[in-house]
A = this chain, B = another copy of it.
Amino acid sequence: MIIVALDPPQNVDVEKWIKIRYDELKEYVQGFKIGVPAIIRVGLEGLSKIFKDYSGLLIADLKLADIGDVMALTASIVGDYGFNAVIAHAFVGYSQAVDELSKTCEKKGLKLILVVSMSHRGSEEFIDKHLESFVEIAKRVGSWGLVAPATRPLIIKRVRELIGSEVKILSPGIGVQGAEPGTAICYGADYEIVGRAITHSENVKQSALKIIENQKQRVAKCRG
């Protein structure tokens, strides 16, 4: 399963850029993830218009990392504009932080997705050291999903062992960042998040279909 990260380059009409990709891809992928740059450039109203009829996953990738009431308020706002999932960091802790956020997500019917590891090198400096504690927080608040990087698949494997089978694992790092489609799923992820390899290609639909096919083949092989 594929989630498309819509991270527009600078110097484009962002709203148009997103709408074109959404229209081309919505039938083939399971969801879209919108990051902070696109959210602050287009605004929530513009985004809510583009995605108003969408029934797939629509993730506000704000990487929330604030005190509880600020994160809760932010989640509540993006929920009002049609997002059905929100990404936050476990790093800010349970108490007066993820705890409060999770209650608001439950109230608003938002899927909470917690980052437990990231795809860049700096993730090893602090974040990865607390992997097990972050997964504990996710369990404690009943998080819908976790983010763990396709670039380091052994981390995905470990996270899957820790969290059990109910919680979704979303895995960025496929394509331009280096991981092959299917890798993360073979190691235990549910969704692979693909950005530029699809969105920045000349034919986004063709690129998506190719990645979906590659993903299927690799998964068939590793499960075979």
Contact of A91 among B7, B36, B91, B120 (CB under 8 A): B91
Chain A interface size range: 35 or more
The B-contacting residues of A in range 63-106, CB under 8 angstroms, are 63-68, 70, 73-74, 76-78, 89, 91-99
Stretch from A22-30, A39-47, A51-59, A185-193 contacting the other chain: A39-47
- Whether the Cβ atoms of B70 and A95 lie closer than 8 Å is no
Please tell me if A221 contacts chain B, counting CB pairs below 8 Å.
no
Q: How many copies does the complex hold?
A: 2
Which of chain B's residues has its CB closest to A92's CB? Answer: B122
Known: A120-B96, A126-B130. A62 touches B36 (CB 8 A): yes
- Whether the Cβ atoms of B63 and A127 lie closer than 8 Å is no
The B-contacting residues of A in range 94-152, CB under 8 angstroms, are 94-99, 118-127, 130, 133
Contact of A63 among B37, B65, B98 (CB under 8 A): B65
Complexed CA–CA distance, A125 and B98 (Å): 12
User: How distant is A95 from chain B, measured CB to nearest CB, in Å?
Assistant: 4
